[in-house]
Amino acid sequence: MHLHILGICGTFMGSLALLAREQGHHVSGSDANVYPPMSTQLEAAGIALMEGFSADHLAPRPDLVVIGNALSRGNPEVEAVLDAGLPYVSGPQWLAERVLPGRRVLAVAGTHGKTTTASLTAWLLESAGLSPGFLIGGVPRNFDISARLGAPGAPFVVEADEYDTAFFDKRSKFVHYRPEIAILGNLEFDHADIFPDLAAIERQFHHLVRTVPGKGRLLVADKEPALERVLAQGCWTPVSRIGEAADSPWRFVLEREDASRFRVIHREGEVEEDAVVDWALTGDYNARNALAALAAAHACGVDLARGCAALARFETPRRRQEVRGEVAGIQVIDDFAHHPTAIAATLAGLRAATARGRLLAVIEPRSNTMRLGTLRDRLAESVACADAAYWYQPAGLDWSLAPVIEAAPVPGWKYDDLEALVAALVAEARPHDRIVVMSNGGFGGIHERLLAALEVAHG
């Protein structure tokens, strides 16, 4: 079958393309923006990529068109699909119908940490010899690929996004997946372009809860009021709380302040077991992510001690605290954080792990929610753990970053020219500094530009 995918370089749609290719389908696709790491993954898999959207991309005529949620009516290729009467589906529907039947599905949901937690879960299952399938909205470095089918009948881990499905299906993606085990890691307001308020997102999370069978398991973060409101709407599945509360059956206790070492305690009835995680990641939020993954893997039969030991070999997914390079002792880190809560958590984790030098934050407010300015009042405080913040005002951001910079507790500067931003960072950086770049897009290849410029200046 020839599948043609619209929006193929999105993290979800690109991963879906890899699964279709692994099933033996001929896969092609179009997208407006083609950039690594997804573009390189797809090209390596022999998938033809076409820049932009055009009716010409539909020749030869595909058997099925899979349409991503970034595409809407008025897009020339969407209009051509409809006019030609081509069969089409959404990505989540295709996944649910063509990959997930007969699999034990583990869904990872939450406002933050989905990619890391899904990667952790897949790695724990892999390290236990279960050869899981997975579809993750990033590239887990333990696998170097964002999706695979895994062994027939093996568990399947899916990053379960609450964003809507397609222009013709406004339900959240995750209602398609029908998981047996669902992680609800956290919940706060996001996606202001499609949700009017937090209550609307809670309703979608409850739709997910409704799909989990009674024989399954809900792993729900403690101390999350929004998630408690979700469960209060109705729950028919056993719930295990995860977090730091003393009465949670899955909890962790830090043994190092930066969360690079912590103890996991699991209590089930009268039986209690514990084991220590000593790993390369930092930050309380990553300890929470690991705890959720351990609980999910344990539900699939993975021994706690074995799982904790495997975390020592876990590598962060690409674009999650990923060290892109180091020049003259100056480290450049790439991180996907784009919500104030995620920015603050990322910087707090890096601050705790930075013994020498300064932490310089570089932020591009690029997401749809950021462009609308919905959370801009929280941006200033989000950089409190940095020594300085460099703000980039991308095209299409209709509000000024100047008030954010003025209100921030650390020095800050605004740029709308990428070359000027790189030059300022190079002039300021000195040995032992860590430059953390936070954006949910390609950011004009700033990481490569910055490393090249640092090499010229300090190499």
Binding residues for ATP: 110-116
C-alpha dihedral over 149, 151, 153, 155, to 10 degrees? -70
Residue 263 β-bridge partners: 253, 276
Residue 84 φ/ψ, nearest 5 degrees: -85, -5
Position 355, amino acid:
A
Could you tell me how many residues make up the chain? 459
Q: Is 237 within 8 Å of 229 (Cβ atoms)?
A: no
Residue 57, SS3 per DSSP: helix
Is the peptide bond preceding residue 179 cis, with omega within 30 degrees of 0?
Answer: no
Q: Would the CA dihedral through 194, 197, 201, 206 be positive or negative?
A: negative
Residue 60 φ/ψ, nearest 5 degrees: -65, 155
User: Smallest Cα–Cα separation from 389: which of 340, 449, 453?
Assistant: 340
Known binding positions: 110-116
Task: Report CA-CA distances (Å) from 92 to 112, 114, 117, 160, 440.
Answer: 20, 16, 20, 10, 21
Edge-first strand listing for the sheet containing 181-184: 147-148, 133-135, 156-159, 105-109, 181-184, 217-221, 239-243, 250-254, 261-268, 271-278
Can you say whether residue 269 is alpha, beta or left, with left for phi > 0 and alpha for psi between -120 and 50 degrees? left
Q: DSSP per residue over 84-152, as a string?
A: HT--EEEHHHHHHHHTSTTS-EEEEE-SS-HHHHHHHHHHHHHHTT---EEE-SS--TTTTSSEE--ST
Residue 369, SS3 per DSSP: helix
Q: DSSP per residue over 422-452, as a string?
A: HHHHHHH--TT-EEEEE-SS-GGGHHHHHHH
